[in-house]
Amino acid sequence: MGKIVLENISKTFGNTIAVDHIDFSIEKGSFFTFLGPSGCGKTTILRIIAGFIKPDKGKIFLENEDITLIPPENREVGMVFQNYALFPHMNVYENIAYGLKIKKLPKKEIRDQVEKYLHLVSLEGYENRKISELSGGEQQRIALARALVIQPKVLLLDEPLSNLDANLRDKMRIEIRELQKNLGITTIFVTHDQREALTMSDKIAVFNRGKCMQIGTPREIYEKPRNTFVATFIGDTNLLEVEINDKLVKFKNGRGLYLKEDLKGNYISIRPQDIKISKATKNRDHEWMGKVDKIQFSGEMIEYIVYVEGLRFKVCQLNHIDEDRNIQAGDEVFMHIRENAIRILN
């Protein structure tokens, strides 16, 4: 299964820069996710790798072979499209067998391979079903089987879960990840859904306006964002503009926090779950008095909006018996920010 290298890839459409000097590699056998908002360039890069779009600049390598100018059908790449792109006039067997017939394999080998991959996606016995008779989840599995049956070196998935309902999406996330692990195939997954990216990926590349903003493991991306875009796009955060001098973080309202290190930046990011609030003071460093403005209850979680002398903080706590659950809107509370929860950003 193949390693992909993108070398200084750029692409424009008219006056729009869709992909801006993308330069990184994707390790062999890994599950690598392109994450970002609509229009950030992630699908364009996927289609460049597939061969459907030619880059204006740069090269693409698959296992040290330059595939930049190789036609899509000769790249040893399988792709599952957002709408699955199954052939409605063909049954399940014919859809999966299509790529093998193009390769002119013997009928028995085609039949054996189709049966193997139907078993792999848990749809044995569906050979004669019409595509119109399948559910969304079943169609997605057939699209996966069709992409995998040609035994590609790389599997490309273009937002394949976006058309499924929430419960089925959760189930298919697990199934796709397990299938990828079992096959060991290099997989590139495109999504705008943070939860999909965080739960499925070995590594994530976060994109915005055609640029790659950060690459890292899910934990690195979430806990150590490199800039304000990544901090706000991945999960929820309190992003506040500050001045930092000699380890002192100074807020616009005059409040300050001391850091152990002399870090440089002009914003701080604090995740809502890393702030603790209580009705009684615990006399800790970085403990401020504030007032609860709003409360949102969602079952297992309770979200608070707390104002501290004009500064707005979102605080998120698990709804369990050890927390102070008697806090109401309008209450004065003591808010504690742990020093290791503070991320300095540009």
Please report, for the domain that includes residue 305, its CATH number.
2.40.50.100
pLDDT interval class at 301 (50, 70, 90): confident
Same domain, 332 and 263: yes
Average pLDDT over residues 265-271: 89
Q: What per-residue confidence (pLDDT) applies to 71?
A: 93
| Tens-digit pLDDT profile for residues 35-56 | 999 999 999 999 999 999 999 9
8-to-11, 39, 63, 70, 185 alpha-carbon distances in Å: 10, 19, 17, 18, 24
Same domain, 204 and 253: no
Q: Which residues of 168-198 are buried (b: 16+ CB within 10 A; e: fewer)?
A: ebeebbeebbebbeeeebbbbbbbbbbebbb
Same domain, 247 and 189: no
How far apart are alpha carbons 127 and 327 in whole angstroms? 59
Average pLDDT over residues 93-115: 90
Q: What per-residue confidence (pLDDT) applies to 292?
A: 94
Both tokens of 221, joined, read 């991306």
Which residue, 205, 232, 259, sits at the end of a domain?
232
Q: What per-residue confidence (pLDDT) applies to 24?
A: 95
Which residue, 201, 232, 263, sits at the end of a domain?
232
DSSP state of 201: -
Same domain, 271 and 197: no
Q: What per-residue confidence (pLDDT) applies to 192?
A: 92
Same domain, 246 and 203: no
> Within a 13 Å sphere around the CA of 172, how many CA atoms are in the beta-carbon half?
23
Same domain, 181 and 286: no
Burial of 221 (0-12, 13-18, 19+ CB in 10 A): buried
Average pLDDT over residues 216-234: 94
Beta strands 203-208 and 31-35, pairing class:
parallel
Return the H-helix or E-strand segment holding 96.
Answer: helix 92-102
Residues 6+ away with beta carbon under 8 Å from 202:
27, 30, 31, 32, 217
| Tens-digit pLDDT profile for residues 167-178 | 888 888 888 898
Which residue type occupies 78?
Answer: G
Which residue, 232, 255, 288, sits at the end of a domain?
232
Count of domains forming the chain? 2
Same domain, 282 and 228: no
User: What mean pLDDT is reported for the chain?
Assistant: 89
Residues 6+ away with beta carbon under 8 Å from 339:
257, 259, 260, 285, 286
Average pLDDT over residues 134-163: 88
Check whether 222 has a pLDDT greater than 90: yes
pLDDT interval class at 323 (50, 70, 90): low
Domain coverage including residue 157: 4-232
Same domain, 306 and 184: no
Same domain, 64 and 160: yes
pLDDT interval class at 1 (50, 70, 90): low
Please report, for the domain that includes residue 120, its CATH number.
3.40.50.300
Q: What per-residue confidence (pLDDT) applies to 322?
A: 62
Same domain, 131 and 206: yes
Same domain, 211 and 267: no
Same domain, 222 and 308: no
